[in-house]
Amino acid sequence: MENLQQHIDSVMQKASEAFKIYRKVSGKDKAVFLRTIAQNILDLGDSLIQTAHQETNIPEARLIGEHTRTCFQLETNARLLEEGSWVEARIDTALPERAPMPRPDIRKMLIPIGPVVVFGASNFPFAYSTAGGDTASALAAGCPVVVKGHPAHAKTSEMVAEAVLKAVSTCGLPDGTFAHVAGHSFEVGRALVLHPIAKAVGFTGSLNGGKALFDLANQRPEPIPVFSEMGSINPVVLMPEKLKAEASQVALTYANSITLGMGQFCTNPGLILAIDNPDLDTFIETLSKAVEQVAPAAMLNAGIYQNFEGKRTVALSQEGVKTEVESLVEKTGIIQAIPTIASVSSSIFLENPTLHQEVFGPYSLIVKCTDLDNLLQVIQHLEGQLTSTLMATEEELQDNPEIVETLRNICGRLIFNGVPTGVEVCYAMQHGGPFPATTDARFGAVGPDAIKRWVRPASFQNFPEKLLPAELQSQNPLNIWRIVNDEWTR
Residue 83 and residue 99: Cα distance in Å, rounded? 38
Residue 284 and residue 188: Cα distance in Å, rounded? 46
Residue 449 and residue 96: Cα distance in Å, rounded? 37
Which uninterrupted H or E stretch holds 123?
A: none
Biggest alpha carbon distance in the chain?
83
Contact (Cβ atoms closer than 8 angstroms) between residue 258 and residue 413: no
* Nearest residue to 148 via CA among 111, 105, 125, 119: 119
Instruction: Let me know if 266 is a catalytic residue.
Output: yes
Instruction: Let me know if 171 is a catalytic residue.
Output: no
The active-site residue, picked from 266, 383, 396, 471, is 266
Which uninterrupted H or E stretch holds 71?
A: helix 60-83
Residue 286 and residue 483: Cα distance in Å, rounded? 55
CA of 441: how far to CAs of 206, 437, 453, in Å? Answer: 16, 8, 11
Q: Are strands 482-484 and 487-489 parallel, antiparallel or unpaired?
A: antiparallel
Residue 71 and residue 74: Cα distance in Å, rounded? 5
CA of 442: how far to CAs of 432, 452, 470, in Å? Answer: 8, 10, 28
* Nearest residue to 420 via CA among 288, 257, 290: 257
Contact (Cβ atoms closer than 8 angstroms) between residue 350 and residue 198: no
The active-site residue, picked from 229, 246, 383, 396, is 229
Which residues are catalytic, by number?
229, 266
